[in-house]
Structure 1
């Protein structure tokens, strides 16, 4: 295994173990997680693999096969760049009173770059899962996910919800993961695409617009201020949408309309999947994209063209997935229309002088686990 060979080369010894945590794609339920709402992600076959051995001196030594020079962190506050996602997990666990020393770590990732499939959460969860086992912390998978989220929120400074880390930690092969982001209750929902003659294509635009992170935080502030204005703890608690919209204007009104209707779309998709009507979820994917484009305003030209051309090519439904402003779209496609959809999207990009997007199928994969 490449990561083991790199560990031996870097540290002159065998690792104590090797752990893998996957990235995720969100089937539906976008920007609902930090509003205490509902999400339906699943783990993808790509992720982060970490070879790890504990150290008694508290020092964290890191090497990524995708990044540059190895990093040695003697003081956690001194971590920079990509290393902060890994080191933040140490910081969270130590702050919670867990006796966590240092570690030698080599990271190998195969999440497609720029796809928005949450490689950062995969890195955090891989490290958290390894430390949980190596130091005998006794944390549940959800507790590992929460520690990973806290690392990204409080150490890295990205105000993400719990969805990405939970999907990476808890997903099961062949299943989507329904999660109530308030109670943190989860339920596996069968999502066997092959059985229904379907594929879920990821259309990786390869673009990431620089305004993404600041706009993400702004959207979150919009939702929090709207909830306060409506007198509810979170937008998940809005039960009278028409009444709520009558009290709001501008951006707040748009954000509320998206979040409330998106929660309903998640529940509707779950109902269809449980009934075996997988082919029928396409219209809800389309509606989700329109809402993200027009009400939440987090799409971009590349995502819109990917979605529209996929549908023209014969997809049963498509939408942007992830935070927005780039990254990926998903398209639900019957097996006999896959090539037609790929050709339609590729042609639409070529007509605009854009680089061809990467397009590949994603099947629901298993969550974080020890490999060796």
Structure 2
């Protein structure tokens, strides 16, 4: 560990500029990140004094393929992006004290890691859940003071909660376990915290993409040991950029909408005596569709149709990227988006049909982009973001026109970053 003021001066003097370029991929971001890290260190010193510190990072993620497949033990393609949460951290005895941007999180006493009903849906629940599970698995846990700041869009499909869970797990790995906790395990612990302590029935994709990093193909057939394969591809060589557009829709009060998707898919699986749709024979499903409709109702049937096809599309996307067939890759991205809209039905919430910001984003993007790219709903859906792969030369036009709809800086042009949860310094 090094004194906070020394690290701050090193950042000011440009000592870490090459490191920042390596992490964030985009050279134009170095000044922004340099300033961001300096401000984070200054905030830490204001809060906790000039102590010895370490710095950690965990990225947001972009789901590239596999919309709502992970919770059915399906296949996904996901990328860590160069928006992240960073944490300036110093050791503490047995208390975890975190200020996250301007949000003052209550101290967590590591002697009390029981589930708290009044913490459901809070950051406190995520921290307590991560620590509880790591301790249960036999890892050393300990206290720390931290200032965390994040530029991962809150509630906008880039998975700010997964980045938060990942950074907490990575801090514990770094401070107390010599960075030896496997990134996939950190992801599983984050999912546990979100499911059991936070009260949200999420899958494992978000945490895995944030913790592992790079562009990864994940097969969740065995969720205890998901198969994670890095897809070695340089998106820039295809002349397209990944654009994430924040349509400014709120995820508030949408937990029931999200929960209904895995619930309905599992209902179809249960009809065939299985727990998850991945285990159901597709031909048997289509041969008995009348019976499934009667028992499970139509929306569940449509969501199952999406699941079967989406798993195949992920395989096709990976093959297209590995063979540098970007046109085929784009076709599959568009097909995934169409399926999410028609069959999965996660583009707007039935409880609030007058608010359809994602639908507007897709409609306007198709009109603006034309033959210059493709777009789809991004992440969990219902509100938040859309994703577009846009030809590089057309990105400025797309950004300008889509921001007339959703406001300045609503379109984020991102890079895939190779690092997941990491110790920066």
Q: With structure 1 as the length reference, what TM-score do the two structures score? A: 0.90
Contact 2:139 2:177 in 1 (8 A): no
2:54 corresponding residue in structure 1: 17
2:97 corresponding residue in structure 1: 61
2:422 corresponding residue in structure 1: 369
CA distance in 1, matches of 2:416, 2:387: 13
1:171 corresponding residue in structure 2: 213
Q: What secondary structure is seen at the aligned counterpart in 2 of 1:208?
A: coil
Q: Structure 2 regions of 5+ residues with no counterpart?
A: 1-37, 349-355
Contact 2:166 2:186 in 1 (8 A): yes
1:189 corresponding residue in structure 2: 231
Deviates more, 1:335-344 or 1:106-115: 335-344
CA distance in 2, matches of 1:226, 1:90: 35
CA distance in 1, matches of 2:51, 2:221: 41
How far residue 233 of structure 1 moved from its aligned partner, in angstroms, is 3.8
Deviates more, 1:284-293 or 1:324-333: 284-293
2:396 corresponding residue in structure 1: 339
Q: Within the alignment, does 1:84 sit opposite 2:121 as a pair?
A: no
Q: With structure 2 as the length reference, what TM-score do the two structures score? A: 0.80
Number of aligned residue pairs: give it.
362
1:282 corresponding residue in structure 2: 330
| Correspondences of 1:2-151 after superposition (within 5 Å) | 2-56=39-93, 58-67=94-103, 69=104, 71-74=106-109, 75-76=112-113, 77=115, 80=119, 81-136=122-177, 138-151=180-193
Q: Would the alpha carbon gap of residues 106 and 339 (structure 1) be closer, same or farther in structure 2, given more than 3 Å must change?
A: closer
1:207 corresponding residue in structure 2: 249
Q: What secondary structure is seen at the aligned counterpart in 2 of 1:360?
A: strand
CA distance in 2, matches of 1:199, 1:229: 42
| Correspondences of 1:226-305 after superposition (within 5 Å) | 226-237=268-279, 238-240=281-283, 242-243=286-287, 245-249=289-293, 250-300=298-348, 301-305=356-360
Q: Structure 1 regions of 5+ residues with no counterpart?
A: none
Q: How far does the alpha carbon of each residue in 1:2-41 deviate from its partner, in whole angstroms, 9 at most, with x for none?
A: 3222222222242441110001010110100000000101
CA distance in 2, matches of 1:221, 1:308: 29
Q: What secondary structure is seen at the aligned counterpart in 1 of 2:282?
A: coil
Point out the structure with the larger helix share.
2
